[in-house]
Amino acid sequence: MSERPFRVLGIQQIAIGGPDKQRLRALWVDLLGLSVKGTFVSERENVDEDICALGEGPHAVEVDLMQPLDPDRKPAVHATPLNHVGLWVDDLPAAVQWLQAQGLRFAPGGIRQGAAGHDICFLHPKGNEQFPLGGEGVLIELVQAPAEVIAARGGGR
């Protein structure tokens, strides 16, 4: 295995899905006190989400509260309550290239802009014949960390 050309800097987000975003919001915003920083709606990704924050600045963790636009369509953002975990990485393109070379399977869509404006991509929860490694049942989002997060969390490589 060659030397890893990127670093995971910490948890960028957790995404929680349910059939009714208002119930999620009642818990996470009204009772637990998270602040809503924005919203995101995507027909392609079948999602209506509130983007919340736990903490502030480069150490904040994003908490996405998601409901499907159509509960009968895929992706089913509500099918597992903990939908995915997002990890900050310091060099997303290098991470994708290196991880694929190690046999890790990525979900369709490639690197693209995510709901919060950062470049993202997803590790598939399961491996396949071509790429035998996956997220071991967990959908994992890799998120390109902005400069302030890289600096606050230990600098680049």
Mean pLDDT by 10 residues, the chain (157 residues): 89 93 91 92 95 90 95 91 89 95 94 95 94 89 94 73
**Bridge partners, residue 144, by sequence:** 89
- CATH fold of 8-152 reads 2,3-Dihydroxybiphenyl 1,2-Dioxygenase; domain 1 (3.10.180)
Q: Using CA atoms, how far apart are residues 95 and 87, in angstroms rounded to an integer?
A: 12
Check residue 19 and give its pLDDT.
92
Long-range contacts of the stretch 126-132 (C-beta < 8 A, 24+): 127/103, 130/105, 131/100, 131/103, 131/104, 131/105, 131/106, 132/103, 132/105
Give domain limits for the chain: 8-152
Check residue 140 and give its pLDDT.
92
Amino acid at 93: P
Check residue 157 and give its pLDDT.
56
Q: Using CA atoms, how far apart are residues 75 and 69, in angstroms rounded to an integer?
A: 10
Query: Which residue has tokens 């899905």?
Result: 17
pTM of the model: 0.79
Query: Using omega within 30 degrees of 0 as the cis cutoff, is the peptide bond preceding 75 cis?
Result: yes
> Which tokens hold the place of 102?
């190690």
